[in-house]
Structure 1
Amino acid sequence: MTGKILVSACLMGHAVRYDGRSKPLLHPAIDRWREEGRLVTICPEMSAGMVVPRPPAEIADGATGEDVLAGRASVMEITGGDVTQGFLQAAENALALARETGCRYALLIDGSPSCGSGFIYDGAFSGDRHAGHGVTAALLKQAGIEVYSDSEIDRLVERLATAD
């Protein structure tokens, strides 16, 4: 076994999303990895003390998680609140947990300003999205952890088959 997988708590059925819901990912690999003890579950936002439910947040001005990490962009709530520091703390918490538990891979919910790894929303709360990473996904990638979105689970299965 090549390593553990950090996984978004909402994908594991935990009701931790901003709207108080979960988004369970039903896939045979999830059950197998759970049985093998490979999954390490985290909601980065909750680890940083954010409540559920909470106002929706997006990375402002069409920027990306990399921009937030570099100090060039902010994460804003629809109410106008700046939650950048919370999202930075969330990313640091996720990276610390990944390192502590030996996670070489991450399976994260797409679209989130924290966990998005294929797309994120544009910051206008219009429903428009663009390619990019959330803050946690960007930090994990910078640290050398392979990040996959929930829609890429079959790619992760293939990657782990070649790594074992």
Structure 2
Amino acid sequence: MENLLISACLCGENCRYDGKNNLIVQIDELRKKYNLIIVCPEILGGLSTPRVPAEIIGGKVINKIGKDVTYEFELGAKKSLELAKKYNCKIALLKDKSPSCGSKKIYDGTHRGKLINGRGFTAKILLENNIKIYGEENVNELLKN
């Protein structure tokens, strides 16, 4: 069975910034097809749940009260990559729009809900290491393969 690196919030873990999750309806189907390697880069980087929301601006991650949390996001990305390598994950299913996991769009850094083209820290490092990224809107592609 192939290993799939997956955002913990998509598995129903309450690890989002607001203490909630983003459970996807296809999680049971994914568990049948893949060995899930569950990660939350922000927790791996040392951030708490709940936490102040953060967005990327100018290459840094700044939370809504102005604190630079770039170090924690970089650390979480590195630890996620280490787990992907340890378990030989060639694919990952990540939470869209997240400053860690967003693979196509992220929030613009103004904390006003505006999306821009971009990648989160974890998505970027995984792609740089030849791990294919899927966002949760593309989960059905993983179930077809």
Query: Please, what TM-score do these two structures have when normalized by structure 2?
Result: 0.95
The 5 A counterparts of 1:123-142 are 123-142=109-128
Structure 1: 5+ residue stretches without partners = 62-72
Aligned to 2:39: 42
Q: Please tell me the residue identity of whatever aligns with 1:117.
A: S
Alignment of 1:19-38 (within 5 A): 19-27=18-26, 30-36=27-33, 38=35
Larger radius of gyration: 1
Identity %: 41
The equivalent residue for 1:6 is: 5
The aligned amino acid for 2:39 is I
**TM-align CA RMSD:** 1.2
Letter in 1 for 2:124: A
Equivalent residues, number? 145
Task: Give the Cα separation in 2 of the matches to 1:153 and 1:37.
Answer: 12
Higher helix share: 1
Q: Give the structure with the higher percent strand.
A: 2
Alignment of 1:20-99 (within 5 A): 20-27=19-26, 30-36=27-33, 38-61=35-58, 73-99=59-85
1:84-125 per-residue CA deviation (whole Å, 9 max, x = no partner) reads: 011000100000000001111000010100001121000000
Q: Which runs of 4+ in 1 moved over 2 A?
A: 155-158
